Amino acid sequence: MIGKLQTFRVHVRQVTWRHVAASLLVVLAPAGVLAAKDHTILSANEIKWSPGPASLPKGAQAAVLYGDPTKDGPFAMRLKLPDGYQIPPHSHPKPEVVTVISGTFRLGMGEKADPKAAENLKAGSFFAFPAGMVHHAAADGETVVQLNSTGPWNIEYVNPKDDPRRQ
């Protein structure tokens, strides 16, 4: 009797797992198909650069990799900055997560730009700031950074005279 009960339990487990697997396949297959249409994969040569946003000083180039920085939702954007490029003290209304892709990104904290106090972040460096953290930046050599955040993206300058949208 015990042998028949063990055989029955094994059979029930096999049938149960087969049904669960089949059910999951039916339920998740459409989601997998949708996910395949909603993903983004870009090789380096597919990245399209254009002039940077009007909120940044002239000379920057931008490439939106994912999402739309002007709309609500997550996005990934790269900024290519020429040698000597500077972004005056500013903050962002949403958290900012940044990776230095190439070059040297000089990052300073505070409401006054102090190049001597700025930290040199070389390719591969990373930082994450909460909303409202005041900082300033500069590029040593052509520098590319990747910015990940949630839109709509905005930059608020400490000194309104530094805002290129007002010039």
The two tokens of residue 118 are: 């700025």
Residue 164, C-beta contacts closer than 8 angstroms, at least 6 positions apart: 54, 55, 56, 57, 58
d(CA 107, CA 92): 15
Q: What percentage of the chain exceeds 70 in pLDDT?
A: 78
Q: Where are the domains of the chain?
A: 1-39, 44-166
Alpha helices, H only, the chain = 2-38
What CATH architecture applies to the domain 44-166? Sandwich (2.60)
User: Would the pTM count as exceeding 0.85?
Assistant: no
Query: Which DSSP category does 19 fall into?
Result: H
- The pLDDT tens digits for 149-164 are 999 999 999 999 999 9
Taking the C-alpha atoms of residue 96 and residue 118, their distance in angstroms, rounded to an integer, is 18
Instruction: Kindly report, residue by residue over 76-129, the tens digit of the pLDDT.
Output: 999 999 999 999 999 999 999 999 999 999 999 999 999 889 999 999 999 999
